[in-house]
Amino acid sequence: MSKGVVYLVGAGPGDPKLITIRGLEAIQRADVVVYDRLASPRLLKHMKPGAEKIFVGKLPDKHMMKQGEINQLLVDLAMQGKTVTRLKGGDPSVFGRVGEEAELLADNGIMFEIVPGITSAIAVPTYAGIPVTHRDFTSSFSIVTGHEYPNKTYSSLNWENLSQASGTLIFLMGVANLEFICSQLVQGGKSPATPVALIRWGTWMDQKTITGTLTDIVEKVRSANFQSPAVIIVGEVVKLRDKLAWFEKKPLFGRRILVTRARSQASELVQQIEELGGEAVEFPVIRTQAPTKPEAQQKLDEALSRLSVFDWILFTSVNGVEYFFQRLQSNRIDVRTMSKARIAAVGPKTSEALAQRGLIAEELPSQFQGDVLLAAFAEELKPGQQVLLPTADIAKEYIPAELRQMGLNVTEVDVYETVLDTSGGSEIIELLQENTIHTITFTSSSTVTNLITALEQLGADKPLELIQQCKIACIGPMTAKTVEESGLKVDYLAKEATVSSLVQSLYCE
């Protein structure tokens, strides 16, 4: 058996978007990912199907695996012919012990590659509004380990030189030794009034920052029960924090938001949440697919075969548009057969999806609920007209019922169906039980009912109680009604049925 290859990858400081392109490629091609606690677990969603993940994280007071065991694990996996990605927080060469791992791989004739990452020593202060250099304060910085290898002592550091250096001092892994560090710097000649900052979980949603001086920072940290992992910054650049603290000023900073939308449609919502400083956790409780029931397929194909008779085709969702045209293509039906029909759309995204296919929908009202849309076209909807309504298998009955009451002939067809999806649900239950999800977003009634059902199927005893701990945001009144009928309370309601409006409702009163 030929030997595999090992990628020793720096995952960056925590924010998953700060990984390098090469590092992401290594995750995507790996048969096994060996990762620690400072590498964002959200990066693991980029692993290929069937790849194995092994957690070897280290805590300040205990190790899942000793460093020597990790070194040997990488060798053993590579000897099995596997492509291995060792995912390490920050940059692997900055106190990441990558040299020890690489040495053993080299000794065993295993090909490896070291992929640099953005070190927390620079990135974490930046996210706290503290640039490590500034022309008005300093043009240099030093990175120092906060604790050293057991057979070394702090006497190996020249504290007098460090104390008298004019540059910024950055200590990694030093929270437990903060009092010693501060006392050594003062004894070495550093002014007791020198500004100090500690940043915990920098670049993460949980980022916390404490500032003080060499004189009072120890007591401040102790009073706040400020724990590792944290970066310590000593120097005049700390004074810039109040002015430059950009990350913590984002409107959704510090909020973990559950996105229940189908994965194929969740990207826009996830992106907007993260752009505003929140952390989006995806749990797509619904998955859409083409109809699988023979009777639904037959009814849809019959309707498509007589497109020329319809006076109106009313699309109520982007999914409806996409699956409608997929079926047209698979049945080799010319779109020109629907030339008689006037096209109407519920919501701007639905209208946009039609425009991408060369169809301009009828003018939309300022609100996008179905009842408002029907009212807007009431004068043009005539008794006896033929209406095609391509919807989902769980579509609400309001629109077709109103159309029939007005005397129109309505043909409803299921162009897609929704399926419950519980993959990744165990991790979501843990987050809910730990009360670390702040808000849940619902973009349709099916996401509400499917989340409750998914939690039940995954073994949650009282799913409603888990959900009730969170704020709830809904994209429209129909979704909000389903939430309330389920016994839950709506905290945020979008003014318009759009993702942007939904996100805006989370931080605008």
Q: Cite the active site residues.
A: 36, 58, 173
Residues in the chain: 509
Buried b (16+ CB within 10 A) or exposed e, 242-257: eebeebeeeebbebbb
Q: What is the DSSP letter of 331?
A: T
Region of 81 (left: φ > 0; alpha: ψ -120 to 50; beta: rest) is left
- Whether cis (ω within 30° of 0) applies to the bond prior to 116 is no
Phi, psi of 148 (to 5 degrees): -115, 175
Please state whether beta strands 111-115 and 168-172 pair in parallel, antiparallel, or not at all (unpaired).
Answer: unpaired
Alpha-carbon gap, residue 178 to 171, rounded angstroms: 9
List, in order, residues 6 or more apart from 498 with CB less than 8 Å away. 347, 348, 349, 368, 475
- Is residue 6 within 8 Å of residue 29, measured between CB atoms? no
Amino acid at 11: A
Alpha-carbon gap, residue 270 to 278, rounded angstroms: 9
Q: What does the CA dihedral 374, 376, 377, 378 come to, rounded to 10 degrees? A: 70
Alpha-carbon gap, residue 45 to 233, rounded angstroms: 33
